[in-house]
Structure 1
Amino acid sequence: MKSTTYKQEAFDYIIVGAGSAGCVLANRLSEDSAAKVLLLEAGGADWNPWIHVPVGYFKTMHNPATDWCYLTDADAGINGRRLQWPRGKVLGGSSSLNGLLYIRGQRQDYDDWAAAGNAGWDYASVLPYFKKSECQERGGDTYHGTEGPLKVSDLRLRREIAERFIEAAKAAGIPENRDVNGATQEGVGYFQQTSYRGLRCSTAKAFLRPAAKRANLTVVKRAHCQRILLEGKRVVGVEYRRGERLERVRARREVVLCSGAIGSPQILQCSGIGHPEHLREVGVACRHELPGVGENLQDHLQIRLVFKTRCRTLNDEVRHPLKKLAAGTQYLLTRTGPLTLAASQVCVFARSREALDRPDIQFHMQPLSADKPAEGVHSFSAFTSSVCQLRPTSRGVIRITSPDPAIYPSIRPNYLATEEDCRVAVDAIKMARRIAEQEALASVITEEYVPGTRYQSDAELLEAARQHSQTIYHPAGTCKMGHDPLAVVDDQLRVHGLEGLRVVDASIMPVIVSGNTNAPTIMIAEKASDMIKEAHGRRE
């Protein structure tokens, strides 16, 4: 039987989740030496050495020691398949096991957020926060900073097939773009990654580690938040579980949820904050009616194309034990080689149709191929060309199925549920093939292995998209920022109708950004920290 301990100590701020956003907030809020900050993390320390090796995501994803190991419900849009949704359960959260890719999205994403009534979230307002966090290897300019703790570096790996892919994309009419986080996003070029000298730069390393020595910051690991404590309409603390003990702690100023697009709505719903009918169905008393909690779920669905080649790819470099040993030795001695590989090498941002005013699809090109990462690479030379729709119009939902926070919620992505999303999926496959048909690639491709040339008509290509697609690990939107009936937080990220509670993570995105979500989540936390300091007075 669990015992409950009521802690006498109170904190000014309680941050729930030491992930991409939580580590940033812990650092920035504890800069005020007079403010006592508590950071709760359900996972453990980031001691696993694979966390710090860039290619280590092959070992940390789907590993229950570091990953929540979520699984979606069966989804009709992808032929009833269920997808694994990795989410970090460790200091640094998903920044400790993601693909390290540094992408901010498009300026129009943020301008659209502001146009929808979210004051202060236009591109001109958020750009300083991107720059504030960044330590750009290439140096500073209008779009990049060099004084921040987050290291952003060029890839330390170059391979012939990647160069060929870039040339093929250019031949297909896509402009070259060396900085897709700069003046414009459209184009093809190499990704940058959050690493430094061959080691991952998670938010735990960049933000939390420098702040951990501060006397006013307390970090509690293996602390799984059970619910938020309310007195009327004011949030006064949280209850969390450590082993068999339930502990409660009070917040003098604010509780800040940073538990991600799955965890934050789950905690709210388990606390009685959500849609009354849904809460009643699962046996939770409604403490505060907020029907948008868990709604508006969005994700980037990538359609995978694999091409066999007659030229060598990374498959040839890492599939044999001796070659793995050689790659490991190279990494240990020089911090270069295959073990520095981010999730992809080459990115493409393009328009699926010429009439569009900005890119609506993104490619992640990998100089290797595999059915599943845990199973190892294929026994033949090949590369992967994955393409996703940047701004899907389908919407899913996160809903608890039990009052018990240990029971995972229902995750219903609702992929490819709209005509628009289906059309873009078909056009995206056509563009992937158009790139592959250019001489730079066509001269070395021997076969389209996945999905295969038997898929030709639009109906067949849509079927290929439904069957040969995976999440790209970007859940967002489930605690939507805005002022409409489904909005959960306002433009200060305060939960509507409650005092002393904010949500700060990717769940607040009204519409998912046009690209990878880690850098935008860090930006959201940087901006939120200033909002919170301004609300309570800066004393740095």
Structure 2
Amino acid sequence: MQFDYVIVGGGSAGCVLANRLSANPGTRVCLLEAGGGGNSILVRMPAAVVAMLPGRPKINNWAFETVPQPGLNGRKGYQPRGRALGGSSAINAMLYVRGQRQDYDGWADLGCEGWDWDSVLPYFKRSENNERGADDLHGADGPLQVSDQKEERPITRAFVEAAAQLQHKVTDDFNRGDNEGAGLYQVTQFHDPAKNGERCSAAAAYLFPVMDRPNLTVITGAQAREITFDGHRATGVIYRQGGKGADLTVTATREVLVCSGALKSPQLLKLSGIGDPEDLTPHGITVRHALPGVGKNLQDHLDFILAYKTKDTDNFGIGAAGTVGLTKHLMRWRKTGVSMAATPFAEGAAFLKTSPDLDRPDIQLHFTIALVDDHARKLHLGYGFSCHICKLRPESRGTVSLHSADPFAAPAIDPAFLSDPRDLDTMIKGARMTREILEAPALAKYRHKEMFGTDTARTDADWERHIRARADTIYHPVGTCKMGVDDMAVVDPQLRVRGLQGLRVVDASVMPTLVSGNTNAPTIMIAEKAADMILADVV
């Protein structure tokens, strides 16, 4: 089969490109996705993420794990990633967060011309259909529906009040380029009457409305094995459906666009002979193009959780009262789209500075209306609430490499958490600040019992012990095919793979540094901007 463009990966970036590139009926576009359709009730109902995130069983989820992490007492971390149309936007908490102005201005300072805040803001606005309407920083005509939460819990309001009691700023918008303060997240959730309250994944926003275009071919269950080349030009992709049967090939007359995410994109490049020879030759892979930065520069948000049990049953938990209540919420959601079934779980937000001398917040809090332990893989009877703490701009740098040349094997993921001691220092400061908020008067009526023994943590050594024992990712890996102009850059500022033709990487892996927040909205922005650059190259 021959197309103008072949897109590898139907996640957030791939769905955007499929829509924008196929808008011209004369352009033939093929989208390959390893997972399924991404439109089941588990995806559409926001609260059903609890069935997909743990990866037991693997529902719409690659459910990867890291190599043992010395900084986490030798534990292997868990790395859930979406495996369906919509990618991780099909299994995430739907939080719409762009990051700080300084994040993008920093990219430009690194040589990524055209990626400063003022340059990328129009693409954020283009993608957005915000329930609050359009203004100088928000859009209301884009495919991605962005909503206020449908029915946040009273305990979440109490969290915001608790932060205010400690003199933290309160804000109602975390997407103006200065996120400091506490408040409620906006979410990627439908607000139109037909689908009110449903998850608005990237597939639901960009792909499903255009699936009937005759010039767009979407192939699910298609695991990419290798990019094909004619000399230094990418010509197509070899894939296998369902991991079985014969190899199939699609050809691209213009470009192959790798959109497989920060963990799978570098793996596919390496399997295709693109990368550091020292990473490839031990696996018997012939080096097609030496590019040392492939798989390097992995950055991720390390997350540490404080949690309390509560006697309040107006949240998620395991108990008779909650089960009866949840049934009522499910029925009401099906009728109106409004109820606790529409929750993102992480309802409350805070972006805080651990030092007043900082130019922007360096920690982010996610206040969650449930007890969270090991990515919801460990369950506890009763009810509770949790608060996640992550350092927004980690200093630690890891890698994505190969376990073997088997394209169906998981990549070797090493975030190198806490390998830089500055990260631990910030995490300890953030944990102390968070406990102060959770112990504030506004939450007094909800607190019953602290869960993990952090109430006894007094010294830095106490906090270090807790963090190394329980911290793990909060699902924001980036940077492994970074854009830039230095020798370790994998793509240039137009996202073209350096030294090759007809090949780009378009996803979170191109971020040179991690943004100060969740990564789904920035990934969609990257793809919107990439679509313009790709179309501008058509002669």
What TM-score comes out, normalization by structure 2 length?
Answer: 0.95
* CA offset digits 1:18-66 (Å, max 9, x no partner): 1100000000001122111111111121242111001121112214241
Contact 1:305 1:451 in 2 (8 A): no
**1:185 equivalent in structure 2:** 179
Which whole-Å CA distance do the structure 2 matches of 1:370 and 1:95 have between them? 20
Which whole-Å CA distance do the structure 2 matches of 1:321 and 1:437 have between them? 28
**2:458 equivalent in structure 1:** 456
Larger mean Cα displacement after TM superposition, 451-460 or 226-235:
451-460
**Amino-acid identity (%):** 45
**1:224 equivalent in structure 2:** 223
How far did residue 332 of structure 1 move?
A: 2.0
5 Å matches for 1:193-208? Answer: 193-196=187-190, 197-208=196-207
**1:129 matched to 2:123:** yes
Counterpart amino acid of 2:285? V
How far did residue 298 of structure 1 move?
A: 0.8
**1:325 matched to 2:327:** yes
Structure 2: segments with no counterpart, 5+ residues: 191-195
Counterpart amino acid of 2:34? A
Alpha-carbon distance change, 257 to 316 in structure 1, aligned in 2, over 3 angstroms: closer
**1:6 equivalent in structure 2:** none
- Which SS does the other structure have where 2:388 is aligned? strand
Larger mean Cα displacement after TM superposition, 346-355 or 178-187:
178-187
Which whole-Å CA distance do the structure 2 matches of 1:435 and 1:58 have between them? 26
* CA offset digits 1:274-304 (Å, max 9, x no partner): 0001101111111100011000001111110
Counterpart amino acid of 1:173? Q
Counterpart amino acid of 2:18? A
Structure 1: segments with no counterpart, 5+ residues: 1-8
**1:502 matched to 2:496:** no
**1:302 equivalent in structure 2:** 303
* CA offset digits 1:416-455 (Å, max 9, x no partner): 1112101101101110112123221245423322242232
Q: 1:159 is matched with which residue: 153, 162, 184? A: 153
Query: Structure 1 stretches (4+) deviating beyond 6 angstroms?
Result: none
- Which SS does the other structure have where 1:411 is aligned? strand
Alpha-carbon distance change, 482 to 222 in structure 1, aligned in 2, over 3 angstroms: same
Contact 2:318 2:382 in 1 (8 A): no
**2:358 equivalent in structure 1:** 356
**2:26 equivalent in structure 1:** 34
Aligned length: 529
How far did residue 368 of structure 1 move?
A: 1.7
Larger mean Cα displacement after TM superposition, 315-324 or 14-23:
315-324
* CA offset digits 1:52-104 (Å, max 9, x no partner): 00112111221424111111111111111112211111111111111111100
Contact 2:318 2:383 in 1 (8 A): no
What RMSD in Å do the two structures reach over aligned CA positions? 1.6
How far did residue 235 of structure 1 move?
A: 1.0
Counterpart amino acid of 1:11? F
Contact 1:13 1:253 in 2 (8 A): yes
What TM-score comes out, normalization by structure 1 length?
Answer: 0.95
Which whole-Å CA distance do the structure 2 matches of 1:47 and 1:118 have between them? 36
Larger mean Cα displacement after TM superposition, 173-182 or 380-389:
380-389
**1:247 matched to 2:239:** no
- Which SS does the other structure have where 1:12 is aligned? strand
Contact 1:318 1:324 in 2 (8 A): no
How far did residue 312 of structure 1 move?
A: 4.3
Which whole-Å CA distance do the structure 1 matches of 2:199 and 2:213 have between them? 24
Counterpart amino acid of 2:232? K
How far did residue 310 of structure 1 move?
A: 4.8
How far did residue 317 of structure 1 move?
A: 8.3
Which whole-Å CA distance do the structure 1 matches of 2:383 and 2:50 have between them? 19
**2:48 equivalent in structure 1:** 56
How far did residue 328 of structure 1 move?
A: 1.8
Contact 1:368 1:377 in 2 (8 A): no
How far did residue 308 of structure 1 move?
A: 2.8
Larger mean Cα displacement after TM superposition, 160-169 or 303-312:
303-312
Contact 2:483 2:510 in 1 (8 A): yes
**1:210 equivalent in structure 2:** 209
Larger mean Cα displacement after TM superposition, 43-52 or 96-105:
43-52
Contact 1:174 1:188 in 2 (8 A): yes
Which whole-Å CA distance do the structure 2 matches of 1:183 and 1:101 have between them? 16
Contact 1:315 1:378 in 2 (8 A): no
